[in-house]
Chains A and B, each alone.
Chain A
Amino acid sequence: MSGKLSLGVHSLWFSPLAIAFGTLMLGPVREARAESPPKPSTSHRPAEIVAEVDRAIDQKLAEKRLPASPQADDAEFLRRVTIDLIGRVPTAGEASAFLDAKSSDKRARLIDDLLARPEYGRNFGILWHNRVIPLSTENSRELNPKLFLWFVEGFNRNRPWSQTVSELLLAEGDVKKTPTLGFYLSGANSVERYVQADRVAGSVSQLFLGVNLRCAQCHNHPFAKWKQTEFWGVAAFFGRVGYTQKNKEKILAESPKIVNKDSQPVATARPDATILIPGKNKAIKARFLEGEEPKLDPNQSFRAPFVKWLTAPTNERFAAAAVNRLWAHFLGRGLVNPVDDMHDDNPSTHPAVMKMLTREFAVSGYDQKHLIRCICNSKTYQRGSRPLSANQFDRTFYSHMPLRLLPPEVLWDSLAMVMDGRMIDTKDMLKSVGDPGRFFWVTSFTSQEAGEDRTRYTHGVPQVLKMLNSMLMHANSPTVRKILQEKLAWEKGVEWIYLSALARRPTAEEINVWKKYRDEVKNPETTYRDMLWALLNSGEFVFNH
């Protein structure tokens, strides 16, 4: 994968010494190239894709006679895209800078800036780590530090998605040292001492193919076309992955030797690439989903051909699943909903958009940042969230952006920033997610049931009590301290609180309402503290809009 040697005019390049030296020189150059994947000439500029997406969405709206809400103003857009890309609300400084910036392309620039921040990788690292590692019955999630950091690095370096998935699924080696083994080690895929091929099949299908095959594990799927044979056909590819010892270290490997004794409780693949459906005595041959039964060499990896098929440009499901998830992340709802239920009886609401973005993603080399630009620069994404009477019942056609509850991690990271002055430590990513207070808060606010659907309000009384009365919400906030220390005038003080909490300036009416409050309370400091408390407890803060 060496880049072209730029032919320096120097004749030195052609001496053996120089070649050796040149090889050394190639090192850093090659790395720099790896940071932005090659752009095949067939991928488009985001603006072109954006125009097409918007056209298709608008056309559907017209068909359904749904008026679109006005576009989000700068404050709403800034807050929304900051939360969606870097996982926290904007600081007061970021807000005033953006609101006052004059350039006509400031929104596009903001998107680019946010994509370049290390917090971007952290945000998506958290997201994907949480998709791979399940919640315990106690609603908590144990961090796998190596896996998390690996994801973070991958997103920040914009590693092609196909490569990320390949590395994850083909992982092997020392369990303690190999970050990508986090996938197999996850409780979702291994149980005690065994990798469970059926669980892996369920995970792979859900996460990377956008299909929920799990129902078909025991019987044909009740609502979709998936058959039990199809489920086990996928499981067979992963039926020779397991744990062994090497030099006293626990390693994960794929090998015919992993295949098993009858005493093992898991289904394993035989050398002929068949797997026995437990309790049914039926042997199913490894088969690509909706595809062929490949000829598999019993002395070679079974999962490698599967991964090759999975990430091949001909497998549209792979790109479509990724596109759908990313779309749902930004728009609150997948083009196919639920996001892991993509099949013929559950078609996309906007097939043209789906097709366009799927093709673009594949053709760009599965470049996530590029796909994000294609989504976030669109009018559709930048539509306001306040509904019109005529479109208030629409939840399908993007006439307005739905309200989305802040995820627990985003809630904490934002509150810690505003109430405690704690910025996300990008030099120590593990520390930035390791705070015990953060762990308990996130555990408390996590809703198993809603999963990733942020359009449902999932907080109960215990969570609200924390927002109302916890120590965090009554901390001596640096936001307030700054106003007092710098002796800011009243209106400037109110503005600072609003910018810090809501990333916008207060209206004249709001300033007036708070002035009356201040006159009742007779104490400016208390007023500021109460103001901050109230704004952070308001729907305007707790929802992404």
Chain B
Amino acid sequence: MPFLIRHPQSTSLDPFSRRDLLKLSAAGFLGGAAAPWFTTLAAHAADSKATVEPAKRKTCIMLWLAGGPSQLDTFDMKPGTRNAGEFKPISTNVAGIQICELMPKLAKQADKLALLRSMSTGEADHFRGSYFMQTGYRSIAGTSHPHLGSIAAAELGQPDFELPNFFWMGTPSAAGVGFLGAKHAPFKINNVRDEAAQNIEDVRPSHGFPAFDRKAGILDQLEARFLEQYHGAKTLADHRATYHQAARMMRSNKLSALDLNKEPKIVRETYGNTPFGKSCLLARRLVEVGVPFVGVSLGDFDTHNDNWGRLKPLLPLVDHCMAALLQDLEVRGLLDSTLVICMGEFGRDPKINGTGPKAGREHYARAWTTVLAGGGIKTGQVIGKTSKGGEEVTERPISAKDFMATLCRILGIDDTKKNITPAGRPIRIVDAGAKPVAELF
């Protein structure tokens, strides 16, 4: 088959779809009776085993603490200073590392954590900060950079994987679909429920499978004809590919990963019955079957007012669920292959704003903390240092792109690789000049 040079602006034949066409043609689908090809493909997919076990490829769970969680009240405490605030630090199972007293369970697993205390990123606006931290690029008009999840879906996802490669639960992230397109867009679950059919709307055929297969078969026949008339135009090929993907998902036995009822009761109880707990459990189940990236959002950490009052219920929740998740991953032998990220879009001002019960902290991107776990990195350590009061980074500053390059390296993604935007611009996965945090490897 002739190699076709693909101009980014052309409607050139996608080699994959033409191969598809020829295959179907050879099998006589283009003129013969409506054959249940959907069944055939799905059966084939179920039969084919991934050449690499899902667990050996890296996956990622991002716990997104929306609003900008306060580092001085969580992972970079400053006791005895004017900025200290209400909460006190406690010791952890790693000598020399202290975290907030409201997170005793994580304190017992500090050996699994790497605290990056020297984040310095400069974007203290919610949308801009979220966008920056989740794409590695500043938001500019005219380009929609892909979310790290979309990048992971594109780079780590297996082409015939039956589920979406990128899930997002809770409030949507600032980064949207991005220029990598619908195929790598996040599959959103607003509220995690117990059954697969509740978690994925319209995944079940209305009248069962034989009926579905029958009409899907003839649909595909019509589509093949139409596609021929357009010389395999890319948009049509994309449309058809998405239909194939959807059909595969409908019949996939991996759908049961979204069925929380299938998890033993004791495990469900360990994570707890809260939306965040359920989401963490679902995240584990998804990476377990090979989904490369799952994001779980929890809010609201934007504590301009009543900082301590609002963190009092939130931090134990994060503590409980994240500790359960880390333990669960470890017990299943998944911790080394699963990178867990815990972060928000920025931190909060060490200097307390106001007095009394309504006191709070403003946005702060000059010096703040992100937490990494799993993924085979060196944990049980603190990276970087902030000043006595927390206002400045004193050692080893980490920029947003350094951070993104680090995540890519952990996940085995080549951050120098260039993607082409719809306008034809090449954009590296991570901006040039990024330095991954070597201390983690």
In the assembled complex, the Cα of A489 lies from the Cα of B361 at a distance in Å of: 74
**A453 adjacent to chain B (CB < 8 Å):** yes
Contacts A403-B230, A458-B182, A538-B223 given; indicate if A453 touches B11 (C-beta within 8 A): no
Question: For the complex, is B12 an interface residue (Cβ under 8 Å from A)?
Answer: yes
A contact residues around B181 at 8 Å (CB) = 449, 456-458
Question: Considering the chains assembled together, what is the distance between the CA atoms of A466 and B178 in angstroms?
Answer: 22
What is the size category of the interface that chain A forms with chain B? 35 or more
Task: Judge whether B206 and A469 touch: CB under 8 Å.
Answer: yes
Q: Which residues of A from 448 to 472 have beta carbons under 8 Å from B?
A: 448-449, 453, 455-466, 468-471
List residues of chain A with CB within 8 A of the CB of B182: 447, 457-460, 463
Is the pair B215, A534 in contact by a Cβ cutoff of 8 Å?
yes
227-242 of chain B: CB within 8 A of chain A: 227, 229-231, 233-236, 238-240, 242
- Are A543 and B214 in contact (CB-based, < 8 A)? no
Is the Cβ of A474 less than 8 Å from the Cβ of B218? no
**For residue B359, which residues in chain A have a CB less than 8 angstroms away from its CB?**
none
B86 close to chain A: CB less than 8 A:
no
- From residue B440, how far is it (CB to closest CB) to chain A in Å? 31
29 A-B pairs with CB atoms under 8 Å apart are: A139-B172, A387-B233, A392-B11, A393-B12, A449-B178, A456-B235, A457-B181, A457-B238, A458-B177, A460-B185, A462-B201, A464-B242, A465-B203, A466-B201, A468-B205, A468-B246, A469-B203, A474-B206, A513-B218, A516-B33, A517-B34, A530-B218, A533-B215, A534-B215, A534-B222, A537-B243, A538-B219, A539-B223, A540-B226
State the CA gap A395–B236 with chains docked (Å): 15
Contact A212 B141 (CB under 8 A): yes
Seed contacts A137-B172, A393-B12, A405-B235; 14 additional CB < 8 Å A-B pairs: A393-B10, A402-B11, A457-B181, A462-B188, A462-B200, A465-B202, A469-B205, A469-B250, A513-B218, A530-B214, A534-B215, A539-B226, A539-B240, A540-B222
Q: Is the CB of B235 within 8 A of A470?
A: no
**Chain B residues closer than 8 Å to A396, beta-carbon distance:** 9
Q: B382: CB under 8 A from chain A?
A: no
Q: Does A214 contact B (CB under 8 A)?
A: yes
* Chain A: minimal CB distance from B303 (Å): 19
B185 CB contacts on chain A under 8 angstroms: 460
Query: Beta-carbon contacts of B198-211 to A below 8 Å, as 1s and 0s?
Result: 00111111110000
With a cutoff of 8 Å between Cβ atoms, the chain B residues found around residue A393 in the complex are 7, 10-12
Task: Name the residue on B nearest A535 (C-beta).
Answer: B222
- Footprint of A on B, CB under 8 Å? 7, 9-12, 33-34, 127, 140-142, 144, 164, 171-172, 174, 176-179, 181-183, 185, 187-188, 200-207, 212, 214-216, 218-219, 221-223, 226-227, 229-231, 233-236, 238-240, 242-243, 245-247, 249-250, 422-423
CB neighbours of B202 from chain A (8 A) = 465-466, 468-470
Smallest CB separation, B258 vs chain A (Å): 13
Set of chain A residues within 8 Å of B231, measured between Cβ atoms: 387, 389, 392
- Chain B positions within 8 Å of A468 at CB level: 202, 205, 212, 216, 243, 246-247, 250
Q: Is the CB of A534 within 8 A of B219?
A: yes
Contacts of B179 in A (CB 8 A): 449
The answer to whether A521 and B214 have CB atoms under 8 Å apart is yes
Interface residues in A225-265 (C-beta closer than 8 Å to B): none
A401 nearest CB across to chain B (Å): 11
Chain A hits for B226, CB < 8 A: 538-540
Query: A448 to B177, Cβ gap below 8 A?
Result: yes
Known interface pairs A462-B201, A465-B201, A468-B246; A539-B422 also in contact (CB < 8 Å): no
Contact among A387, A395, A449, A466 for B177, CB-based, below 8 A: A449
Distance between Cα atoms of A464 and B241 in the complex (Å): 11
Closest chain B CB from A439 CB (angstroms): 15
* Number of cross-chain contacts by CB at 8 Å: 163
A11 to B149: give the CA distance in the assembly, Å.
82
Of B176, B201, B236, which is within 8 A of A449 by CB? B176
CB neighbours of B222 from chain A (8 A): 534-535, 538, 540
**Please, what's the 1-or-0 string for A366-397, where 1 marks a CB less than 8 Å from any CB in chain B?**
00000000000000000001110100110110
CA distance A466 to B203 in the complex (A): 8
Docked Cα-Cα span, A402 to B215, in Å, equals 28
- Closest CB-CB distance, B135 to chain A, in whole Å? 12
Q: Are B242 and A456 in contact (CB under 8 A)?
A: no
Ranked nearest first, the 3 interchain pairs of A and B with the lowest CB-CB distance are: A460-B182, A457-B238, A464-B246
Q: How far is the CB of B229 from chain A (nearest CB, A)?
A: 5
A417-435 CB contact bits vs B (8 Å, 1 = yes)? Answer: 0000000000000000000
State in angstroms the CA–CA spacing of A103 and B182 once bound together.
44
A542 at interface by CB-CB < 8 Å = yes
Q: Is the CB of A461 within 8 A of B214?
A: no
- Residues in A whose Cβ lies below 8 Å from that of B235: 403, 405, 455-457, 543
* Contact residues in A for B423 (Cβ distance below 8 Å): 338
Let me know if B144 and A448 touch, CB within 8 A. Answer: yes
A530 CA / B11 CA spacing, docked (Å): 31
A56: Cβ under 8 A from any B Cβ? no
A538 to B140, CA, bound (A): 36
Tell me if A460 and B183 are in contact (CB < 8 A).
Answer: yes
Q: How far is B243's CA from A537's CA once the two chains are assembled, in angstroms?
A: 9
A window 138-153: CB within 8 A of B: 138-139
Which residues on the B side are within 8 Å of A100 (C-beta)? none
0/1 interface trace, chain A 522-545, chain B, CB 8 Å (1 if under): 000000001001110111101100
B239 pairs with A461, CB closer than 8 A: no
Give chain A residues whose Cβ lies under 8 Å from the Cβ of B243: 464, 468, 537
A370 to chain B, nearest CB (A): 32
Does A520 touch B at the CB level, under 8 Å?
A: yes
The interface bits of chain A over 200-228 (1 if a CB of B lies within 8 angstroms of the residue's CB, else 0) are 00000000000010110000000000000
- What residue of chain A has the Cβ atom nearest to residue B215's Cβ? A530
Kindly provide the distance from the CB of B238 to the nearest chain A CB, expressed in whole angstroms. Answer: 4
Contacts A457-B182, A530-B214 given; does A539 touch B172 at CB 8 Å: no
Name the residue of chain A whose CB is nearest to the CB of B34: A517
| B180 vs chain A, min Cβ distance (A) | 9
Contacts of A514 in B (CB 8 A): 218
CB distance from A507 to the nearest CB of B (A): 10
Q: Which of B176, B179, B203, B233 has the most CB of A within 10 A?
A: B233
Encode A35-71 as 1/0 by CB contact (under 8 A) with B: 0000000000000000000000000000000000000
B227: chain A residues at CB < 8 Å are 539
Contacting B239 at CB < 8 Å: which of A338, A471, A521, A542?
Answer: A542
Closest Cβ–Cβ distance, residue B142 to chain A (whole Å): 6
Interface centre among A137, A212, A405, A449 (most CB of B within 10 A): A449
